[in-house]
């Protein structure tokens, strides 16, 4: 292969890379447009990330007393989170339904009767709350509710007396759920928060308080627990809802990675051409690059209309068929068809599919690179490179 041909192939590769950069940018831009236009609609219909703040208790001895904020002597919390993904345009939104119940025990540890003012704040002022319950002990309190202002209740306790106040509801949220310690006291006693989920892919917000025991993975979900006897912290307790595979951003990432796939395939083609002495013109490389690009163009626009996995299979089938049939016809059988199919399947299909596997893309590329290097070293170990480059010089002189 002459220097002139290598230069032409490099130019073809750079042009293809530029085309993929434009396509990838366009795909991500379209996805971002959908996110910006429809994200607010999803929040209005389904809610926002929720942060439930612990209720506050203000203890007073008599009317006019400024009082002091006190802690519940016991905090029993149960949370149930069920995924309910919603799709708008090219984007799947990680929405969920949450069932919350908090039972708080307040005890008058003083020597005189006191009034305890209970204030509960809802996690969102715009959300809708179903299955709402507010109880004093076992008595269900039918009180009017102002979501924006929260709930207020005064409980009179004699010295040494304890009562429980409980609040429960069902609502909907987006992306994450958190529980925040009452900032008035910054401390929580006898905490038990048990969270049930219908998913096992657990993740926690940055800076949050970790579960006190490993999550119990069960059929169809998990159970996570936070237990503490006397906890002082500014950290929230919470969980991040796993996101579903979004076709638009995924197609964009695969497109941006395309030059790496093509580079590996070009190296394979060049190696086979040297070993089998097949004359492969730069125009052949140009059409091979176009066949590769067909995969990404089809994928970028099919994901708008059909399932991402089906779009991937159809696009890969078209691209592999185009490239292998072209190389077989153009080189008249000089390039092994099986090698062309295997190479494109490995470098294009498998490398691209690794983006479907969260956290596995880098490992897949690293392993693929090492395997490719090992194969190339094996098949070229017997080559006389002096002879190869002397052939290149002779062919360059003949063409001149």
DSSP string, 308-362: HHHHHHHHHHHHHHHHHHHHHHHTTT-S-HHHHHHHHIIIIIIHHHGGGSTTTHH
pLDDT surpasses 90 at 61: no
Higher pLDDT, 344 or 99: 99
Higher pLDDT, 108 or 362: 108
**pLDDT tier, 305 (very low <50, low <70, confident <90, very high otherwise):** confident
Task: Output the CA–CA distances (angstroms, integers) from residue 202 to 74, 171, 242, 314, in the order listed.
Answer: 27, 21, 7, 33
Give the pLDDT mean for 134-147: 91
- 32: Cα within 13 Å, side-chain hemisphere: 7
pLDDT at 87: 74
pLDDT surpasses 70 at 33: no
Q: Is 151 exposed, middle or buried (0-12, 13-18, 19+ CB in 10 A)?
A: buried
Supply the mean pLDDT for the chain: 86
pLDDT at 354: 87
CA 265/CA 346 separation, integer angstroms? 9
Instruction: Give me the count of residues in the chain.
Output: 400
**CATH 2.60.40.3680: does it fit domain 47-240?**
yes
Tell me: the pLDDT tens digits for 165-211? 999 999 999 999 999 999 888 899 999 999 999 999 899 999 899 99
pLDDT at 64: 67
pLDDT at 56: 94
| Span of 75-89, 131-145, 273-287, 359-373 with lowest mean pLDDT | 359-373
Which of 400, 254, 273 lies closest to 339, judged by CA?
273
pTM to 2 decimals? 0.72
Which of 163, 158, 119, 166 lies closest to 141, judged by CA?
166
pLDDT at 290: 93
Q: Per-residue DSSP letters for 210-262?
A: PPSS--EEETTEEEEEEEEEEEE-SPPEEEEPPPPPPHHHHHHHHHHHHHHHH
Q: Where are any strands of DSSP class E within the chain?
A: 50-53, 56-60, 68-70, 74-83, 86-88, 91-93, 95-107, 114-120, 130-136, 139-140, 151-157, 162-174, 176-180, 187-197, 216-218, 221-232, 237-240
Give the pLDDT mean for 28-41: 64
Which of 164, 160, 108, 123 lies closest to 140, judged by CA?
164
| Span of 14-28, 63-77, 373-387 with lowest mean pLDDT | 373-387
pLDDT at 236: 94
Higher pLDDT, 78 or 31: 78
- Coil, strand or helix at 158: coil
pLDDT surpasses 60 at 132: yes
* Domain boundary assignment for the chain: 3-32+246-399, 47-240
**pLDDT tier, 101 (very low <50, low <70, confident <90, very high otherwise):** very high
Tell me: the pLDDT tens digits for 221-250? 999 999 999 999 889 999 999 988 788 888
Tell me: the pLDDT tens digits for 113-126? 999 999 999 999 88
């Amino acid at each position: 292969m002459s220097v002139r041909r290598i230069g032409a192939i490099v130019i073809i590769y750079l042009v293809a890379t530029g085309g993929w950069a434009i396509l990838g940018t366009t795909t991500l831009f379209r996805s971002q447009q959908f996110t910006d236009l429809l994200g607010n609609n999803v929040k209005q219909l389904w809610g926002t990330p929720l942060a439930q703040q612990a209720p506050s208790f203000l203890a007073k001895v008599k009317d006019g007393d400024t009082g002091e904020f006190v802690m519940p002597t016991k905090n029993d919390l149960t949370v149930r989170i069920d995924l309910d993904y919603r799709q708008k345009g090219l984007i799947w939104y990680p929405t969920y339904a949450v069932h919350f119940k908090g039972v708080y025990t307040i005890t008058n540890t003083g020597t005189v009767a006191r009034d305890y003012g209970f204030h509960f704040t809802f996690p969102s002022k715009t959300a809708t709350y179903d299955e709402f319950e507010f109880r004093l002990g076992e008595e269900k309190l039918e009180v009017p509710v102002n979501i924006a202002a929260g709930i207020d209740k005064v409980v009179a306790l004699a010295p040494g007396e304890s009562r429980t106040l409980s609040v429960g509801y069902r609502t909907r949220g987006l992306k994450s759920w958190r529980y925040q310690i009452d900032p008035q006291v910054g401390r929580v006693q006898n905490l038990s928060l048990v969270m049930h989920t219908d998913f096992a892919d657990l993740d926690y917000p940055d800076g949050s308080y970790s579960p006190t025991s490993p999550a119990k993975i069960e059929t169809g979900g998990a159970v996570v627990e936070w237990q503490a006897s006397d906890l002082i912290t500014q950290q929230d307790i919470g969980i991040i809802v796993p996101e579903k595979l979004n076709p638009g951003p995924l197609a964009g990432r695969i497109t941006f990675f395309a030059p790496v796939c093509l580079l590996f395939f070009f190296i394979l083609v060049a190696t086979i051409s040297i070993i089998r002495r097949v004359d492969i013109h730069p125009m052949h490389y140009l059409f091979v690059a176009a066949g590769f690009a067909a995969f990404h163009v089809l994928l970028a626009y099919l994901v708008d209309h059909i399932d991402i996995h089906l779009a991937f299979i159809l696009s890969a089938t078209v691209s592999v068929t185009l490239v292998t049939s072209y190389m077989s016809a153009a080189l008249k059988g000089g390039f092994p068809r099986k090698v062309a199919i295997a190479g494109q399947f490995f470098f294009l299909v498998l490398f691209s599919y690794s983006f479907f596997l969260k956290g596995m893309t880098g490992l897949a590329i690293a392993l693929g690179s090492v395997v490719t290097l090992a194969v190339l070293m094996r098949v070229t170990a017997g080559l006389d490179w002096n002879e190869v480059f002397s052939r290149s010089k002779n062919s360059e002189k003949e063409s001149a």
